[in-house]
């Protein structure tokens, strides 16, 4: 049964992408233009360009891709809860085999695959435009895994807020703008940053696409941090889900 639920979510995602292809392409184009414009603006700050600011466009691009992956993933669970509640179908979704939490997890996984695909579709055109040389290591998919799992755990935690408060757009705007300077601070990665949230995953992504060697310790730390995020997020949304069901607040604004 798990296979058919997963297959249904994959078909749903495909149908939405095919139906709203124009919006999908416009979103990809907007992301490319946004980063390209930002780089041009930074280069014009000083006559010497990015070098005088101590920035290299290659790491900057990879951190931007990591930022987009995390933001796109962490918003999805809450927005899905919000839209289902607005349609009045949130309680119906809870009747799916395995319950609401399992269905949200499957949807988030499928959406994450879409996010990874769109991230790569943004990365390669920008690399060509900015003349960034990418030399992905054979293990590069493993570099994406910890970052995505950590983002999924954070998404489940944010989904817990949406289950209770239903509308959380304003709060998400705050988090998104906090994330922007935080992720860009990881461009100049230092050893003391390793324990910071998402930091080992973002650095691992950078190493994966530049073909540099990675230590087993960094990979292990990134995976442990991702599993902790995932476990904490699932516990948070399970606890809130049980609470709103007891109080009869699941599908109501």
pLDDT at 193: 86
Tokens of 92: 């119906």
The answer on pLDDT for 37 being more than 90 is no
Query: Which phi and psi angles does 14 have, rounded to 5°?
Result: -65, -45
Query: CA–CA separation, 171 vs 123, rounded Å?
Result: 28
pLDDT at 53: 56
Over residues 192-209, the pLDDT tens digits come to 888 888 999 888 888 888
- The torsion of the CA quartet 182, 188, 194, 200, rounded to 10 degrees, works out to 80
Among 51-65, 212-226, 237-251, name the most confident range. 212-226
Share of the chain above pLDDT 90, in %: 9
- C-alpha triplet 185, 74, 148: angle, nearest 5°: 75
pLDDT at 189: 83
> By three-state DSSP, how is residue 45 classified?
coil
pLDDT at 116: 81
The answer on pLDDT for 225 being more than 90 is yes
The answer on pLDDT for 51 being more than 70 is no
Query: CA–CA separation, 108 vs 23, rounded Å?
Result: 20
- Burial classification of residue 24, based on how many CB atoms lie within 10 Å of its CB (0-12 exposed, 13-18 middle, 19 or more buried): middle
Q: Which one-letter DSSP state was computed for residue 185?
A: G
Q: What is the mean pLDDT of residues 98-105?
A: 82
Angle (deg, nearest 10), helices 99-129 and 57-87: 150
- Burial classification of residue 8, based on how many CB atoms lie within 10 Å of its CB (0-12 exposed, 13-18 middle, 19 or more buried): middle
What mean pLDDT is reported for the chain? Answer: 83
Q: Between 156 and 253, where is the model more confident?
A: 156
> Whose CA is closest to 67, among 244, 198, 171, 163?
198
Helix-strand-coil split of the chain, %, nearest 5 = 80, 0, 20
pLDDT at 58: 80
Q: What is the mean pLDDT of residues 147-155?
A: 89
The answer on pLDDT for 57 being more than 70 is yes
Tokens of 241: 């889900």
Confidence class for position 184, pLDDT limits 50, 70, 90: confident
The answer on pLDDT for 24 being more than 90 is no
pLDDT at 251: 64
Q: Find the radius of gyration of the CA atoms of the chain.
A: 19
CB 214 within 8 A of CB 207: yes
Q: Which residues contact 87 (CB under 8 A, 6 or more apart)?
A: none
Tokens of 66: 């990591």
What distance lies between CA 42 and its chain's CA centroid? Answer: 25
Q: What is the mean pLDDT of residues 20-45?
A: 83
Instruction: Say what the pTM is.
Output: 0.84
């Amino acid at each position: 049964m798990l296979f058919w639920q997963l297959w249904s979510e994959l078909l749903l995602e495909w149908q939405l992408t095919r139906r709203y292809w124009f919006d999908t392409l416009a979103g990809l184009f907007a992301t490319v233009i946004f980063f390209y414009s930002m780089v041009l603006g930074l280069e014009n700050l000083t006559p010497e360009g990015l070098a005088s600011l101590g920035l290299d466009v290659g790491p900057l691009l990879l951190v931007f891709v990591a930022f987009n992956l995390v933001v796109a993933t962490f918003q999805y669970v809450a927005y899905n809860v919000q839209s289902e509640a607005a349609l009045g179908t949130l309680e119906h979704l809870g009747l799916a085999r395995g319950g609401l939490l399992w269905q949200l997890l499957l949807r988030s996984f499928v959406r994450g695959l879409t996010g990874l695909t769109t991230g790569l579709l943004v990365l390669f055109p920008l690399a060509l435009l900015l003349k960034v040389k990418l030399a992905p290591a054979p293990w590069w998919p493993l570099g994406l895994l910890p970052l995505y799992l950590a983002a999924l755990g954070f998404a489940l935690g944010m989904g817990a807020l949406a289950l209770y408060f239903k509308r959380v757009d304003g709060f998400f705007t705050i988090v998104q703008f906090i994330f922007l300077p935080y992720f860009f601070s990881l461009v100049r990665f230092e050893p003391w940053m390793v324990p910071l949230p998402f930091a080992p995953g973002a650095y691992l992504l950078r190493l994966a696409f530049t073909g540099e060697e990675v230590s087993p310790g960094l990979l292990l730390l990134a995976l442990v941090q991702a599993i902790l995020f995932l476990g904490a997020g699932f516990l948070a949304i399970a606890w809130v889900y049980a609470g709103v069901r007891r109080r009869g607040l699941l599908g109501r604004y």
